[in-house]
Chains A and B, each alone.
Chain A
Amino acid sequence: MYIRNLAKQLCPSSMRPVAKSLYLTSRSFLNGNHHPAHTGLKKIGTVQDLYYWVSENNLDTLLLLQNYYSVLFPSLDTTTEGTVTVFNPDGVQILKHQFAVPHLGGVKLRISELISSYTDHLESYGTFEVHLQVPPTVLNYVSNQKVLYFWDRFYVGYSTKLGQACFVHGVDKTHIYQYNKHDAVDYYRFPKNLSWAPEIPIDINDYKRLHFIMINRTSTQVNVGLTIRDISGKSVDIESNIVAKGICRFEVTPQTVTGLIPDQMTARIVGMPTDYGRPVLFKEFHNGSISAMHC
């Protein structure tokens, strides 16, 4: 990893695409029967990610799980099965729920209902993972492929008791499930220490509460920080340890940033553990409405 990063830094930016292509090709040749991106990507299977769930006050998490195999393989009967596994903020499993997924159809689930029917847990947020099995017909159809993984990029929904819903897409990967193997392979074992500068201008007066949500998809505890800075250079820092496969919510309210110019602020994440593990920005407004976005 270190040598690869050093080589990347030394390589002129104009040469990087060529160098990357050469690197991936040679690595693929040397590594044999797996995808060059990861040694765990062997044969056929799926890649799944951890998503944020919340079930508190006015909020619930709405899962509308589309059978995406039907869209990719419309001439096959893509009926399949799936599971959703719900974890607390420290990555401890709370429940696992199985369901059937019709061809061209989908499944609708609410996290609040799953929690109340399975457990007496009191946590109000955490992570969850969805796993739609590769349908048998699709497995058969793609069996000539040496390495093929389906990566479910679904949109998680959140709803309010007022009757609103919003969605945000997945961004990253957490587990590799090779077909016919029970145990998952971690996509990331060790964290990086990256910084990310969300594009969105922040006017805190617009919000009742903002959450910057960070998920640690690696197998190692990390320390992540959020800096809110105004145009004059004044800043507020918040930081938190996130256990392996855990989640952290950085709450920003008008009170959190007292003393900063409220309508001229930017955010920065420090200690981001994975390249694509950007924060989810969860917005709650004074009128009770919500929205969510990836930064």
Chain B
Amino acid sequence: MTRLLDLISTPVAVLNSLDLNLRIGLSSEDPMVGRNEPESYEAFLSLYSAEGILVKRDHLGKIEPRTRRFFDISGMTQSTFGNLDHLCVVHRIPSRLINDGDNLEDSIECNEDYSLFRATVEYSYTGGGNGSVIYDTPPNLNATLPNIRTSNTLTLSCQTVLSDTLNTVVVLIHYSVDDSYSRISEYSYAFYSLSGELVFSDRVKISPFSCKVLDLANLIPYELVQKHRDTADGFTTFNLVGYSNDAVIMPVILNVAPSLGAVSLEHTHPPVAYMIAKDASYPRSVKSKAQQIWGNIMDGWGDR
């Protein structure tokens, strides 16, 4: 049984504090051609406040078969949220599954496979280029269901570049497919230089149904950025390690150059995806142990 709203969904950060416009591109076609027949979908948008309270849920519109549609989310939300960053969730439901008066919270039995139905999340500066990425809500994300393993996160990424024009913003998305989910998550993180030296570490608390923006140009002291700068191209690059013991946090990393009207973004892969093992439980055990060790390491640093 799956909630209609969770058949196909994508949680997205609305980044008003960065002056970034947000559009969501949705398709009515299975990207894996031949698996599901093209059909029309109804698109809905759940809007959460900066604190993670559901403010409203709107019908965005219909996506006709074999088409794509962009929806301008910033245009719809900026008057309500001003300069605040907040979470929204875009849902797609096959039109044939919705009747007048249906409650979208209802669960249905569904045999179709909608994996890989990902939304295009596109940010841009007004008059500039855009950056986009596709992703969707992982199955049972932070679900508080019986027999579901405790959710947790281990993150690694090289996508950190700082310069006079370039900044990196790590967006931590904390969403759940369970409306009653209420856990406040703690996410600890560290940045290492290319030589393996610890440069900066900190931890943040993230409310459910919200996002946290780590603006690295503002977080990492300027003198540390300068110390590790490559004078040949002016880039300072760091490696990110982060973890949470109490929730799956979805990191999205943006590289932004406002003065150039440039933005790009990419998600991260979970560490278990870096291992192919005959013993299928082994990657999870490596991850769990690594997370525990990272916990000890970062706890040992205390609040920095």
Hey, which bits of chain A sit against chain B, CB under 8 A? 13-14, 16, 28, 34-37, 41, 47, 64-68, 70-75, 102-108, 110, 145-155, 157, 159-160, 162-169, 194-203, 206, 231, 264, 266, 268, 278, 283, 285-295
Instruction: Decide if B277 touches A105 in the complex (CB within 8 Å).
Output: no
- 28 residue pairs bridging A and B, Cβ less than 8 Å apart: A35-B278, A71-B290, A72-B275, A72-B286, A72-B290, A74-B294, A102-B195, A104-B192, A104-B196, A105-B196, A146-B279, A151-B274, A153-B273, A160-B262, A163-B234, A165-B166, A165-B255, A167-B253, A197-B27, A200-B68, A200-B120, A201-B70, A283-B129, A285-B262, A287-B260, A290-B262, A291-B262, A295-B31
B69–A164 CB distance below 8 A: no
Identify which of B99-107, B130-138, B171-179 touches chain A: B130-138
Asked whether, in the complex, the Cβ of B276 is within 8 Å of the Cβ of A295, the reply is no
A17 CB, nearest partner CB in chain B, Å: 9
Most central of A107, A268, A287 by chain B CB within 10 Å:
A287
When C-beta atoms are compared, the residue in chain B nearest to A168 turns out to be B266
The complex places the Cα of A155 from the Cα of B233 at a distance, in Å, of 19
A-binding residues in B (CB < 8 A) = 25-27, 29-34, 66-70, 111-113, 118-120, 127-134, 154, 156-159, 161, 163-166, 192-198, 230, 233-235, 237, 239, 241, 253, 255, 257, 260-267, 269, 271, 273-279, 282, 286-287, 290, 293-294, 297
Residue from A152, A153, A164, A194 in contact with B257 in the complex, judged by beta carbons closer than 8 Å? A164
Which of B26, B129, B261, B271 is in CB contact (< 8 Å) with A71? B271
Partner of A153 from B119, B265, B274 at Cβ < 8 Å:
B274
**Among all A-B residue pairs, the 9 with the closest Cβ atoms:** A166-B264, A285-B129, A105-B196, A201-B68, A289-B262, A289-B129, A147-B278, A195-B33, A104-B196
Tell me whether A13 and B112 are in contact (CB under 8 A). Answer: yes
Minimum distance in angstroms from A144 CB to a CB of chain B? 10
- Bound together, the chains give a CA A91 to CA B164 distance in angstroms of 37
State the main secondary structure of chain A at its contact with B.
mixed
Tell me whether A37 and B264 are in contact in the complex, defined as CB-CB below 8 angstroms, given that A66-B156, A163-B165, A198-B31 are known contacts.
Answer: no
Inter-chain contacts of B290 with A (CB < 8 A): 71-74
Find out whether the CB atom of A293 lies under 8 angstroms from the CB atom of B133.
yes
Contacts of B129 in A (CB 8 A): 206, 283, 285-287, 289-291
* B276 close to A199 (CB less than 8 A): no
Given the complex of chains A and B, what is the CA–CA distance between A207 and B154 in angstroms? 36
Asked if B237 contacts A108 (CB within 8 A), the reply is yes
How many angstroms between the C-alpha atoms of A285 and B125 in the bound complex? 12
Q: Which residues of B contact A110 (CB under 8 A)?
A: 233
- A71 CA / B265 CA spacing, docked (Å): 22
How many angstroms from the CA of A195 to the CA of B69 in the assembled complex? 21
How far apart sit A79 and B235, CA to CA, in the bound complex (Å)?
Answer: 24
In the bound complex, do residue A64 and residue B118 qualify as a contact, i.e. CB atoms below 8 Å apart? no
